[in-house]
Chain A
Amino acid sequence: MAEVEKRQDRSPVPSAFEYAEAPESREIVRLEERYGLFLGGEWVEPRSAEFEASIAPRDEEPLAEVAYADAQDVDLAVGAARDAFANGWSDLAPSERAKYLFRIARILQERSREFAVLESLDGGKPIRESRDVDLPLSAAHFFYYAGWADKLEYAFPNRRPRPVGVAGQIIPWNFPLLMLSWKIAPALAAGNTVVLKPAETTPLTALLFADVLRQAELPPGVVNIVTGDGRAGAELVKHPDVDKIAFTGSTEVGKEIMRAVAGTGKKLTLELGGKAANIIFDDAPLDQAVEGIINGIYFNQGHVCCAGSRLFVQESVYEEVLAKLKRRMGTLRVGDPLDKNTDVGAINSSAQLERIKELVASGEEEGAEIYQPPCRLPEKGWWFPPTVFTNVAQSYRIAQEEIFGPVLSVLTFRTPDEAVEKANNTPYGLSAGVWTEKGSRILSMAQRLRAGVIWANTYNRFDPTSPFGGYKESGFGREGGLHGLGPYLELEE
């Protein structure tokens, strides 16, 4: 036919649109060979004389040696924080405190590429996320709390807000810089001084942040950074001169901290694990709901305490949703965190990878059906493919325990009541997602779900103005928003 002839001179269409590698350059980051502790505005050698390498999850390259603090180091850090609190910081005009916070926020924005690259290098998360989520949100938290610093009387009317004193803050490895910002910004805005203990697998952006503090000319000792493992954290928790402990991490450690703090008069906030329900009703905008499922569980390789790790789909749309989900999983690009096109990066540590593997094996053993899209994983480094389990019973470990990896368990429900009952049937209560076109249903579900954060027709969205925190074994206390100031203040009548 004529039409066929006319097409002959066209070159054949290649079968795939392969994206060439698009690596973000790591030249922008300059790392020291080894880092001491940041105490009283100076770098000091740890008394412990102990160092460990921080490893890049993408290829197991040792990036830098980092100090592991002991009891003596922690004591010095708390002393430096106490000094700074007593000698100037707590008496400083609130508007002056605000200036430092604004300055830190702006420096973070200016140096955001450097921080984003280091965050991906040290933690394994895709550069797209560290660039578009972690860094903008970190800066936004400092901007937001800078604004509150001189308005505390208005935030808490008829009270006399006073700073608590020295805050000991222990942060996790999943959002190292962002969790640092969530903790430090409200603490400083309220007039406290800080001893921060970053996670042992991801200390480098916190150490680079010390440079931001110097650039901002923050008075020495207002923020002290003590690296190390759980021992350093435990020393900080039990130190008698610490007035407040803020911890983000596992429920197991959270319980230990609560026991250690009991009876001491220390203030405490805990932001712990979760096993969030992401609930899809049959009237939901399905293509966008599928994006929400993907973002809910594969964002940051599932290393997210509020990850939507239990998917509840109304049975009438179960097959359609699952088909769309599997198709979408096939387009996820797993690989080098520094590649700008990577969607799912490396697992943070070999220990975490082992835990994920163990739980996935238990799921298969218990009878759930596993699906993983075909994807090539790099040979070096720690990797786990995006995974979904179907035929999951509420009683399986993968439906009960926090996996903290890119593993989704799918369950079904028939009615809103059943969805609420199943969703609440967990010791955790950090977050939940509801997908429906019906506004009234969103409101009634939000009232009945026992979770601190409810997302409606979206998932894993964060904003400094919005309080974040859990019910039940997901912890207590809120971070973010006006609520986030409370734990850092004594509110006298």
Chain B
Amino acid sequence: MAQAPALPSGFELPLEPRLPRIGSVDQVAVEQRAAALATRSIKRESKLFALDLAVRMMDLTTLEGADTPGKVAALSSKALRPDPADLTVPPVAAVCVYPNMVPHALERVRGSAVKVASVATAFPSGQSPTELKVEEAARVAELGADEIDMVIDRGAFLSGHYAKVYDEVRRVKEVCGPAHLKVILETGELGTYDNVRRASLLAIAGGADFIKTSTGKIHPAATLPVTLVMLEAIRDVHEETGRKIGMKPAGGIRHAKQAVQYLVLVNETLGPEWLTPDLFRFGASSLLNDVLMQIRKQKTGAYQSPDYFTVD
């Protein structure tokens, strides 16, 4: 994976001190489009399909200072078998944890389809020297994480040092080895959709396998319009270069209904090709139980008490 990834058109190196024109995003119109897609009415078998897919796309996440091996073990067990009462419910895509918790998560999920993702690069702020961030990513890869969720340096981005952002992504990608790299833009700190588009293209140019909205530590986290802007960037890159980049909205997605809205957005922006855990993930900690509850409702016709779903 040493080969430099292709740049999307519109970029000219060197990137310092600022990007050439890479197109623009109209705020009012993109919010309107996202709101219109959110009114799609998804019922019956299509709803069940979407809910099942949402489970298979979920990165079950715990990123707390209070995380312990016990907590991570419980979460990993849930990831493997989300609904003990209904074994047709598939395992989730991955568990997402801090670097220290990677071995504990691996212990539980090894041999299964569930992957282990770890955050890295001075998560959540990214405000550390580049060397340390690269080193951290390399260590996380050594620990055996399947996926690495890095953050971009928003301080560098917002001060116009795009080349630094690009360079860090590229260097982290080099040390990832076989691990997949998800690049967190922290859209809540970027301020404009134009910046979201720029950061998306920059991360993709640097070698991101996935682009991800948020750390979950900043409000607002993922929103439908932000996700739409990122999906459109992914679509433009695919049309330009053929590269398929994944998308991960994270933070603030708590209800099954929201998850279905995101899937509609993907379906109508990138098409059904992207409706796979290889190219789309949800980063969430409390979404899973609501999805399980809705699946049970779809199958039995009745809502069950939350007591029937495990709290982990």
Contacts and interface: CB of A to CB of B under 8 A. Distances in A.
A457 interface: yes
Contacts of B307: none
Interface string A92-107: 0000000000000000
A259 to B, nearest CB: 42
Interface in A276-310: 283-289, 291-292
B272 interface: yes
A13 B276 contact: yes
Contacts of B275: 13, 17
Contacts of A3: 178
A458 to B, nearest CB: 6
Given A14-B49, A21-B43, A458 B272 contact: no
Contacts of B239: 323
Q: Which 8 A-B pairs have the closest CB atoms?
A: A288-B29, A22-B41, A340-B41, A288-B26, A285-B26, A20-B46, A20-B44, A17-B267
B225 to A, nearest CB: 11
Contacts of B74: none
A22 B43 contact: yes
A18 B90 CA distance: 20
Nearest to B40: A341
Contact of A128 (B39, B112, B232): B39
Interface in A1-34: 3, 6-11, 13-22
Contacts, number: 85
A417 interface: no
A331 interface: yes
A289 B23 CA distance: 12
A11 B276 CA distance: 11
Contacts of A331: 268
A132 interface: yes
B30 interface: yes
B100 to A, nearest CB: 24
A364 interface: no
A17 B265 CA distance: 11
Contact of B28 (A7, A8, A283, A457): A457
B113 interface: yes
A17 B29 contact: no
B113 A287 contact: no
Interface string B275-306: 11100000000000000000000000000000
23 contacts: A3-B178, A6-B115, A10-B277, A11-B56, A13-B276, A15-B272, A17-B263, A17-B264, A17-B272, A18-B49, A19-B41, A20-B44, A20-B46, A22-B41, A22-B42, A22-B43, A132-B39, A283-B24, A288-B33, A291-B33, A292-B29, A323-B239, A340-B41
Interface string A447-463: 00000000001100000
Contacts of A366: none
Contacts of B250: none
A458 B272 CA distance: 28
B50 interface: yes
A287 B44 contact: no
Nearest to B50: A17
Contacts of B107: none
Interface in B73-116: 90, 111-113, 115
B53 interface: yes
A128 B275 CA distance: 25
B244 interface: no
A437 interface: yes
A323 B239 CA distance: 10
Interface in B224-244: 232, 239
